[in-house]
């Protein structure tokens, strides 16, 4: 059975970027990659690293790594960001890299970011490692090949610091085509909705519910998350991904650092054939203090 499932992973890997962007469970700490409007929203310089091992126990199971870096630049009235992602599934390897810019506007008690990003998608497939039961199928690559396509995205992101956030965005706006020798796969446009709220239960306990929706027009993923934060230091929570998984969340904040971990309990029919999914998050963020204005004057008594 494991070999059969491995073949299914390999088959789906060919359309990894074309069918569905890689998923993460700690979406509340990954807002830049799906939405360029987020860039600079923290008012400082921040970096977040995510690593995900999905469906542990399968040969060729997905392994995804993502680095987000963004910062606010007053001179350009907005934020800039960089996202680099590696997504490996079976015999397929993909790399996505993009630069983001978000123009900031004050709106009510919060701020609105209107963002765009530009980058590339690179994908390679090692067909020499495929071993089909029947040879001669023109739809199955038999050699190593790679492809590169440009990538564009748009997004808007609104937030009231320490209170709420809401974002809507679209990636792969101009659908490209990944080409593996004589096999072509179109990159599908994706749409995202994210929202979160901070409710102060007591002086030390905060409740942080959030939702994350992702769709390519054919398949939709819906995540509902709830974290409880203690004293702005520790958090515990849970998440439910519709028809896919129940997720346990935990993390700690210390000074400028943030560390998080999540474990997915698979609820689909694949549950009996894998050991769940592990995800680690490491973040670092520091504020940009405005330089103090030094004022000088002369006292007429001491010239």
**Do residues 128 and 159 touch, judged by C-beta distance below 8 A?**
no
Residue 74 backbone phi and psi in degrees, to 5: -60, -35
Pull the structure tokens for residue 292. 């103090």
Q: How far apart are CA 104 and CA 39, in angstroms?
A: 9
pLDDT tens, residue by residue, 226-279: 999 999 999 999 999 998 899 999 999 998 999 999 999 988 777 777 788 999
pLDDT in tens, 110-166: 999 999 999 999 988 777 677 666 566 666 666 677 889 999 999 999 999 989 999
Query: Of 213, 107, 214, 114, nearest to 164 (Cα)?
Result: 107
Name 213's Cβ contacts closer than 8 Å, sequence gap at least 6.
192, 193, 194, 220, 221, 222, 223
What is the mean predicted confidence (pLDDT) over 8-29?
63
Q: Going by C-beta distance under 8 Å and a sequence separation of 6 or more, which residues neighbour residue 295?
A: none
Which pLDDT score, from 0 to 100, does residue 61 have? 85
| Residue 138: predicted pLDDT | 63
Residues with Cβ < 8 Å from 49, sequence gap 6 or more? Answer: 65, 66, 67, 68, 281, 282, 283
The Cα-based distances of 123 to 51, 91, 286 in angstroms read 19, 11, 34
Q: Does domain 2-287 have CATH number 2.40.160.40?
A: yes
Residue 257 to residue 277: CA distance in whole angstroms: 24
Q: Would you list the domain boundaries of the chain?
A: 2-287
Rounded CA separation 16/230 (Å) = 38
User: CA-to-CA distance for 99 and 239, rounded, in angstroms?
Assistant: 30
* 214's tokens: 């992702």
- Counting every residue written for the chain, the total comes to 303
The number of C-alpha atoms within 13 Å of 161 and in the hemisphere containing its C-beta is 6
Say what the pTM is.
Answer: 0.85
Distance (Å, whole) CA 261 – CA 265: 13
CA distance 134 to 168: 45
Read off the pLDDT of each residue in 67-84 and give the average, rounded to a whole number. 96
């Amino acid at each position: 059975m494991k070999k059969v499932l491995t073949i299914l992973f390999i088959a789906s890997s060919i359309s990894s970027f074309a069918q569905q962007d890689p998923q993460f469970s700690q979406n509340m700490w990954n807002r830049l990659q799906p939405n360029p409007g987020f860039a600079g929203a923290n008012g400082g310089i921040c970096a977040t690293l995510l690593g995900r091992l999905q469906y542990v126990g399968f040969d060729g199971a997905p392994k995804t790594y993502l680095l987000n870096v963004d910062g606010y630049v007053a001179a350009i009235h907005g934020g800039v960001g960089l996202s680099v992602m590696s997504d490996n599934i079976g015999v397929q390897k993909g790399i996505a890299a993009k630069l983001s810019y978000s123009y900031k506007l004050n709106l009510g008690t919060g701020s609105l970011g209107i963002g765009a990003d530009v980058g590339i998608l690179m994908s390679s497939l090692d067909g020499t490692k495929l071993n089909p039961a029947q040879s001669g199928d023109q739809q199955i690559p038999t050699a190593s090949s790679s492809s590169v396509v440009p990538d564009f995205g748009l997004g808007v992101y609104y937030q009231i610091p320490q209170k709420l956030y809401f974002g809507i965005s679209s990636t792969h706006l101009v659908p490209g085509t990944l080409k593996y020798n004589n096999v072509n796969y179109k990159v599908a446009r994706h749409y995202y909705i994210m929202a979160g709220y901070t409710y102060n239960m007591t002086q030390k306990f905060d409740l942080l519910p959030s939702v994350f929706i992702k769709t390519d027009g054919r398949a939709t993923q819906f995540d509902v998350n709830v974290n409880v934060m203690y004293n702005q230091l520790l958090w515990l929570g849970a998440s439910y991904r519709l028809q896919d998984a129940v997720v346990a969340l935990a993390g700690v904040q210390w000074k400028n650092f943030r560390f998080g971990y999540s474990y997915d309990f698979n609820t689909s029919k694949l549950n009996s054939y894998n050991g769940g999914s592990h995800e680690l998050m490491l973040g670092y963020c520091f504020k940009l203090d405005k330089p103090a204005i030094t004022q000088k004057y002369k006292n007429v008594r001491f010239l």
